[in-house]
DNA sequence: GGGGTTATGGAACGTTTGTTCCGTAATTAA
DNA sequence: TTAATTACGGAACAAACGTTCCATAACCCC
């Protein structure tokens, strides 16, 4: 019936994630997108709507691809403390020694956009809920299996751990000493002792 | 010798803080600044240089005015845990029930600008150093006065507490349940038990 | 192999961007 | 009062912004 697209939507979304993640919403121009996504202006607008819409879809893509991995690790954890330490390490390795650390796209979105864009806020909140709930469930499971003290409150502890992860995401935006980062991990995971 | 300025530099800087704090660097336009600072375009550029320069000066102003208060509270604390709880409460009260929560201007600056602007990064790092050091010293002082267990490591604990404050600053960008926030505070301050 | 439909590339749109320029106003030392 | 200097308001600037439009190209069903 009609001409077929010369690109994969998923691939282009991944590329859009790459741009918006690194530079944020306002600092990424339409020209940037056209130049780096390998898709012409008209096809971009035809497929994704306007810039804001593309940004929202990129946020969903980021959440699915990047955060999905962390969720999976937590949900399948056998040793929770070890798993959380591994996640901290993953996060650190992503940004350390990077001249332009990207941090977390959802944290960047929260600070740049969430206050003035309810759709962005909803995505950020959804992500928070997922991670906090997964962490809470993992704590409960560990308690049920007698691997964790039962006087630890699952909900507030999960919230505090999630909160610490967010904090580290910001900290990594300005390069940090490894010793400081290790200290934060050590103390945060002490919540599970 | 020459005409006198019709405005106080400090007042204008405070107003600039208000704008950049709420909207960030890129989303605040030169027109926004002219419209809200009560200073003509030419006087703005004459006094503060370009937009980026004004932003950097606004960051310093924010640090002096807002964070200076927290520093003072920590440095003069008699009951550290109580003081930290008070600071958490101050932070929460600023943003809760606000339709457009501003969060912390330095956190916003870190995520939006620090990766690509070394001067912004330096200001953020300076602020981190101040707060972390103040917290570390307060812990040591409390330990010396036998108000705190001596097996608590001052440096890493201070880093973790600072980290939790940053995390909460981001969390408040999307409105939160008070119970969740209280849980984070409770668990974070457990580091001092 | 048309005919209907969508995709594409590129030019073009009107706004908004950050910044500069200039004529005039205000200030004070001489 | 004059001369020298700086501040001010507003027009003006080129560049970049996000978006739209259109002629052409590619595709599939009939």
Burial of A138 (0-12, 13-18, 19+ CB in 10 A): buried
* pLDDT tens readout for residues B134-145: 999 999 999 999
Write the class of the CATH domain A60-192.
mainly alpha
Of residues B129 and A6, the one with the higher pLDDT is: B129
Q: Is the pLDDT of residue A1 over 80?
A: no
Domain ranges of chain B: 62-192
* The pLDDT of residue A2 is above 90: no
Q: How far is B35 from chain A (nearest CA, A)?
A: 20
pLDDT at B1 over 80: no
Distance CA A181, CA B6 (A): 48
**For residue A25, what pLDDT band results from cuts at 50, 70 and 90?**
very high
- Asked if the C-beta of B84 comes within 8 angstroms of chain A's C-beta atoms, the answer is no
A20, A101, A110: best to mutate for the B interface, most B CBs within 10 A: A110
Closest chain A C-alpha to B3 CA, distance in angstroms: 39
- The reported pLDDT for the residue numbered B78 is 95
Axis crossing angle, helix A68-75 with helix A80-95, rounded to the nearest 10: 160
List chain A residues with CB under 8 Å of B191: 187, 190-191
Give percent above pLDDT 70 in chain B: 100
Q: In sequence order, which residues have a C-beta less than 8 Å from that of residue B107 and are 6 or more positions away?
A: A111, A170, B166, B169, B170
pLDDT at B137: 98
**Digit-coded pLDDT (tens) for B62-88:** 999 999 999 999 999 999 999 999 999
Name the one residue in this structure whose structure tokens are 């036998």: B146
Q: Does the domain spanning B62-192 belong to CATH 3.30.460.80?
A: no
| DSSP reduced 3-state for B123 | helix
With 0-12 / 13-18 / 19 or more C-beta atoms within 10 angstroms meaning exposed / middle / buried, residue B28 is: buried
Cβ-Cβ contacts under 8 Å for B19 (sequence gap 6 or more)? B28, B32, B33, B36, B37
Question: Which residues numbered 10-49 in chain B sit less than 7 A from strand C, measured from CB?
Answer: 26, 28-32, 41-42, 45
């Amino acid at each position: 019936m009609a001409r077929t697209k010369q690109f994969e939507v998923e691939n282009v979304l991944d590329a859009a994630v790459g741009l918006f993640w690194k530079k944020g919403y306002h600092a990424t121009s339409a020209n940037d997108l056209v130049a780096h996504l390998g898709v012409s202006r008209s096809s971009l607008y035809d497929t994704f709507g306007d810039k804001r819409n593309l940004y929202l879809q990129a946020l969903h893509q980021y959440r699915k691809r990047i955060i999905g991995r962390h969720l999976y690790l937590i949900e399948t954890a056998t040793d929770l403390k070890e798993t959380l330490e591994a996640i901290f390490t993953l996060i650190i390795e992503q940004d350390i020694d990077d001249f332009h650390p990207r941090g977390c796209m959802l944290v960047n979105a929260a600070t740049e956009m969430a206050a003035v864009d309810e759709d962005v806020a909803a995505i950020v909140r959804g992500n928070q809920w997922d991670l906090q709930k997964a962490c809470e469930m993992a704590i409960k499971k560990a308690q049920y299996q007698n691997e964790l003290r039962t006087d630890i409150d699952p909900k507030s502890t999960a919230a505090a751990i999630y909160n610490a992860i967010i904090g580290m995401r910001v900290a990594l935006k300005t390069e940090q000493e490894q010793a400081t980062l290790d200290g934060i991990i050590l103390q945060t995971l002490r919540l599970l002792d």
